[in-house]
Amino acid sequence: MRKLNDTQLVILSTAAQRDDHAVLPIPDSIKAKGANRTKTIDGLIRKGLIEEKRAGTDAPVWRQAEDGQRMMLVATEAGIHAIDGEHALDSEIPNAAPLEGRDSRSRARRTVTARSKEGPRGLSPRHGTKQALLIGLLERKRGATIPEIIAATNWQPHSIRGAISGALKKKLGLNVTSEKDGKRGRVYRITEQG
C-alpha cells in the first residue's frame, strides 16, 4: 500500500481524536474541496482505513443509503494504526470493523494520555483539542514538519514552535526532538526520555 499523503494523515488524525472516530466534519485546514475531497475519502475507504457505518441521530451524515438509512464515516483500527506509526501500511493489516461506541479509545490517545501524565505537574491535554492533535502528530514514527502541523491545526508557524517549547516541553515534560530531513525539511518528534 502506498504511503499516506498529508491530507489523508490529517483526516485520520482528526478522526482518531474524536470519541466516535467520525471522519466528518473534515477539518477546515484541509484545502481539498469537492471532487478532490471525495477522491481522498474514496482512497481511504479503498485502503480499509475508513469505512461506513450507520449514523446515530447526532452524527454527521456521509450519505443516505438506498433503504433510507443515514451513513457516516469512521476510522477503522487499521486507520488508527496507520497514524500511530507502529505498523506498516501493507496487506498484513486486516480491514477492521468500524469502532463502535463513544467509549472506544484509540491506542494513539492512550499513548498521549500516558505520556502526558509523566509531566512535571501531572498535566494532560484535553481530548479533541489542537494540542492533543499536535501531540498525536509528533508521536508518529515519521514525526511531523511545520507545514504538516499547519495543515492539521491551522496555526501559524510561530504558534506551533511556541506550543512545542512551552506547552509540550515545559508544561507536559515531553521530550520533543527535531532533525533535518533532506526531503521533508525539519522534522519534530516526541521521543522517550533517555
Residues 135 and 72 in one domain: no
- Residue 72: pLDDT band by 50, 70, 90 thresholds? very high
Can you give the CATH number for the domain in which 31 is found?
A: 1.10.10
Residues 3 and 66 in one domain: yes
Residues 86 and 6 in one domain: yes
What CA–CA distance (Å, rounded) separates 94 from 3?
17
* Whether this model's pTM surpasses 0.85: no
Can you give the CATH number for the domain in which 162 is found?
A: 1.10.10.10
Residues 121 and 65 in one domain: no
Residues 123 and 169 in one domain: yes
CA angle 116, 110, 102 (to 5 degrees): 125
Q: Which ranges of 64-188 does DSSP label H, i.e. alpha helix?
A: 77-84, 107-116, 130-139, 146-153, 157-162
Last residue of a domain, one of 69, 104, 139: 104
Residues 16 and 69 in one domain: yes
What CA–CA distance (Å, rounded) separates 164 from 134?
9
Q: Which H or E run includes 175? A: strand 175-181
Q: Can you list the pairs that 183-186 forms with residues at least 24 positions away whose Cβ atoms lie under 8 Å?
A: 184/145, 185/145, 185/146, 185/147, 186/145, 186/146
Residues 98 and 160 in one domain: no
Question: Among 133, 114, 134, which residue's Cα sits nearest to residue 124?
Answer: 114
Last residue of a domain, one of 104, 131, 154: 104
Residue-number span of the structural domain to which 181 is assigned: 105-194
Residues 100 and 112 in one domain: no
Task: Give the number of domains in the chain.
Answer: 2
pLDDT tens figures, 13-66: 888 888 888 988 887 777 777 788 888 888 899 889 999 999 888 888 888 888
pLDDT tens figures, 121-151: 455 666 667 888 899 899 998 999 999 998 8
Residues 19 and 29 in one domain: yes
* Residue % of the chain over a pLDDT of 90: 13
Last residue of a domain, one of 72, 87, 104: 104
What CA–CA distance (Å, rounded) separates 164 from 172?
10
Residues 109 and 178 in one domain: yes
Residues 110 and 187 in one domain: yes
What CA–CA distance (Å, rounded) separates 36 from 168?
34
Region of 139 on the Ramachandran plot (φ > 0 left; ψ -120 to 50 alpha; else beta): alpha
What CA–CA distance (Å, rounded) separates 182 from 194?
26
Residues 2 and 88 in one domain: yes
